Structure 1
Amino acid sequence: MEEKNIMTYETVSLDDENSQLVIIDQTRLPYETKMLYLKTQKEIWTAIYLLQVRGAPAIGVAAAIGIYLAAKEIKADNYDDFYKAFKEAKDYLASARPTAVNLFWALDRMEKVVLDNADKSVEEIVKLLHDEAVAIKEEDIWVCKSIGEYGLSLVEPGIGILTHCNAGQLATAKYGTALAPIHLGQERGYNFKVFADETRPLLQGARLTAYELHSAGVDVTLICDNMASIVMKNGWVQAVFVGCDRVAANGDAANKIGTSGVAILAKHYGIPFYVCAPTSTIDMECATGDDIHIEQRPAEEVTEMWYKERMAPKGVKVYNPAFDVTDHDLITAIITEYGIAKPPYSESLKEIFAKKEAAKKNK
């Protein structure tokens, strides 16, 4: 039987009847599409840590569902006991990844439901947590589509686009962030020519972006990270779209390691560099990129993960940061679900949040 197209799978979902978080195991792609059915907090923590679920928005959705499932299992007769157990579960899940702000944003949003409903029964609170987890996922789909529409407004059909890492449907509930303009453009016959960096050391560009875009029928060419300069010099790239895991108040943006190098190249060749950022990834309490904690990953990801035999000498020192920070002066625009922010970001990001608040009041 022919295998389903990867684009027909849900990246992250809730099986409430069986109390399971259901995810695509992204460490197995593209050679195997394996669904994971996670019940325990340890399983969910491990899936986030090992990048079986990855991408800031998808991590946020998984965390919301995960903490809801934890709440379902809490045996408590009163609010205080329930909240104490809830807080322990929340702190545990929050420890899985330190850089992606969506993890903390989603967990804080779920905690607010508990705090705002202290007068209700435990059963009622759990039901409200379910509704909030579902809302977070549904909102992510709307957010990504909106980012896609704004992104499309900045480009012309037929151009070349370069992207780094994977900020597509596999990183979100649907569409993606940086890949949302590409997916929407594909639906509308824009015929973009996309260059996907392989994205060392975990190869999210090779394993995930190239796979997802190829499955969607997009004209995609895979390149090694160190080939970005030559394709730009050749005139094959007219725009760069990347996602992000955290944006500081001044517009500095943390994204998968290697992103800042792409931004430097884009500036050298005069190519616009766009960061696609849901407002949930924008941390206005974080002044600059210097304040963003950068996760360090295991050395084995560099020395042996993708090789039949170890490809580096034993005992050699390895520096393996998961992210780097792109300075705001390298970023042409930050695309959000509430509009496009342009320099100076210290002002335009405030305007984006003002639009968000106004939209909430008008609901």
Structure 2
Amino acid sequence: MKINVDGEERKFRSVWFEKDEVVLIEQRNLPEKIEFYRAKNSDDIAYAIKHMVVRGAPAIGVTAAYGLALAKIKGENMEEAVEKIRKTRPTAYDLFKAIDFMKSSGFDIHAAERYSQEVSGRCKKIGEYGNVLIADGSKILTHCNAGALAVVDWGTALAPMRYAKESGKNIFVFVDETRPRLQGAKLTAWELEQEGIDHAIIADNAAGYFMKKGDVNLAIVGADRICANGDFANKIGTYEKAVLAKENGIPFYVAAPGTTFDFNLKTGDEIPIEERDQEEVLVVNGKKIGPENSKARNPAFDVTPNRYVSGYITEYGIFRPDQLGDLKRKVQSDLFMRTTTPTA
């Protein structure tokens, strides 16, 4: 991804391995500061995933892969390291894909590097395929952050937008702020700014207003887990955007690599949904909002039924919900995908 550092444009990945450390862009400090988190052991990796130093299903998977290779290099008990990392985030399927890939590869650092390269390359293909959906002059809605920060490079939902920009198309992106952690306002807007893509941050509850006015041509979001029937989990608030898109006749696409598809789950009812600390809702800029004794609920994700999805943009092409059997066969015939057999 492009990052402007002190007036100089440089290219970074969101996570990489360097001198027996896993280095991550510290996403909790963006966009105010560009800083890096250096993980020296599996405890640091588990903290980074659990506490949102890194987030986004593919990036979580890559971080886990590097973290397990690091644990082996440091001579840690691998069963304990695996279990520690496995327990960090229950919804993101890529986490379990990466863990099982590393187990089958002997926790080798070269395997972790391959996993990272595979994810990045597959997301680049998502950009190539998704670009055909974007016409010159398109106004696109996205929710949360599904850019390079969430993947390692390129992104999922943002990859087609990057390709559209590079191919000379004039596009505009509506960026949902994405409460309570504001990943849209803080991260997606920052990535789009770095890429020179025209955009505006909107309140989460303003999306319907712009859809009804005819200002949105299509919606593209990422995903944390996609079931065999196409139901998918993504950042809380995605479901209502999909319903509004359907109501207003707006195509709604999900962009995700094969590592995010969990064909072991039949429907979205089986997806485990993480509920995070209520303080994320109740505290804003260090100050508590609402009455002193009020409590909050804070599900991190919701599940969108397949009937609201126009198609899934993958590294294998674009598939409608009724074509996911074809996608499953492509995934199962993919040698890289066959090396993972997640059990969670």
SS of 1:67 mapped into structure 2: helix
2:134 aligned with 1:155, yes or no? yes
Q: Give the aligned partner of residue 96 of structure 1.
A: 88
Structure 1: 5+ residue stretches without partners: 76-84, 115-125
- 3-state DSSP of counterpart to 1:344: helix
Deviation of 1:339 (Å): 1.4
CA contact (8 A) 1:7 1:169 kept: no
Change (3 A) 1:26 1:317: same
Q: Which residues in structure 2 correspond to 1:96-175 (within 5 Å)?
A: 96-114=88-106, 129-175=108-154
Question: CA 1:142 to 1:346, structure 2 compared with 1: closer, same or farther past 3 Å?
Answer: closer
Q: Secondary structure at the match of 2:199?
A: strand
The equivalent of 1:80 in structure 2 is none
In the TM superposition, what is the alpha-carbon distance from 1:5 to its structure 2 partner? Answer: 6.5
Question: Matched residues in 2 for 1:47 and 1:277: separation?
Answer: 22
Structure 1 residues 136 and 66, CA gap change in structure 2 (3 angstroms): same
Hey, what does 1:22 align to over in structure 2?
Answer: 23
1:272 and 2:251 correspond: yes
In structure 2, the residue matched to 1:353 is 331
> Structure 2: which amino acid aligns with 1:183?
R
Given candidates 225, 230, 238, the residue that maps to 1:259 is: 238
For structure 2, the 5+ residue unaligned runs are 339-344
Per the TM alignment, residue 358 of structure 1 is displaced from its structure 2 partner at its CA by: 11
Of 99-108 and 336-345, more deviation after overlay is shown by 336-345
Q: Contact 1:338/1:356 (CA < 8 Å) preserved in 2?
A: no
2:13 to 10, 15, 32: 10
Query: 1:330 is matched with which residue?
Result: 308
TM-score by length of 1: 0.88
- Aligned residue in 1 for 2:33: 32
Taking the aligned partners of 1:205 and 1:314, their CA distance within structure 2 comes to 28
User: Would the aligned equivalents of 1:338 and 1:355 in 2 still touch at CA under 8 Å?
Assistant: no
Is 1:236 aligned with 2:215?
yes
* Alpha-carbon spacing, 1:271–1:310, altered in 2? closer, same or farther (3 Å): same
1:255/1:325 contact within 8 Å kept:
yes
Residue 314 of structure 1, CA deviation: 2.4
Does the C-alpha gap of structure 1 residues 5 and 195 become closer, same or farther in structure 2, counting only changes over 3 Å? Answer: farther
Residue of structure 2 in register with 1:311 after alignment: 289
For residues 241 and 2 of structure 1, the distance between their equivalents in structure 2, rounded to whole angstroms, comes to 29
The 8 Å contact of residues 259 and 337 in structure 2, kept in 1 or not, is answered as no
Contact 1:14 1:21 in 2 (8 A): yes
1:173 Cα deviation from its structure 2 partner: 1.4
* 2:321 alignment partner, SS class: coil
Structure index of larger Rg = 1
How large is the Cα RMSD of the aligned pairs?
1.9
State the Cα distance separating 1:6 from its structure 2 match: 8.1
Higher relative contact order (CA 8 A, sep 6+): 2
C-alpha offsets along residues 134-166 of structure 1, whole Å, 9 cap, x if unaligned? 001111121111001111112212110000000
Asked if structure 2 preserves the Cα contact closer than 8 Å seen for 1:144 and 1:176, the reply is yes
Query: Hey, which bits of structure 1, 4+ residues long, moved more than 6 A?
Result: none
> Aligned-pair distance for 1:278?
0.6
Q: CA deviation at 1:316?
A: 1.6
CA distances 1:160-214 after superposition (whole Å, capped 9, x unpaired): 0000000001111111000000111111111111100000100000000011101
Three-state SS of the structure 1 residue aligned to 2:28 is coil
1:13-92 matches, within 5 Å, as: 13-15=16-18, 17=19, 19-74=20-75, 85-92=77-84
Q: What is the total number of aligned residue pairs between the two structures?
A: 335
The structure richer in strand per residue is 2
Residues 339, 352 of structure 1: 8 Å contact kept = no
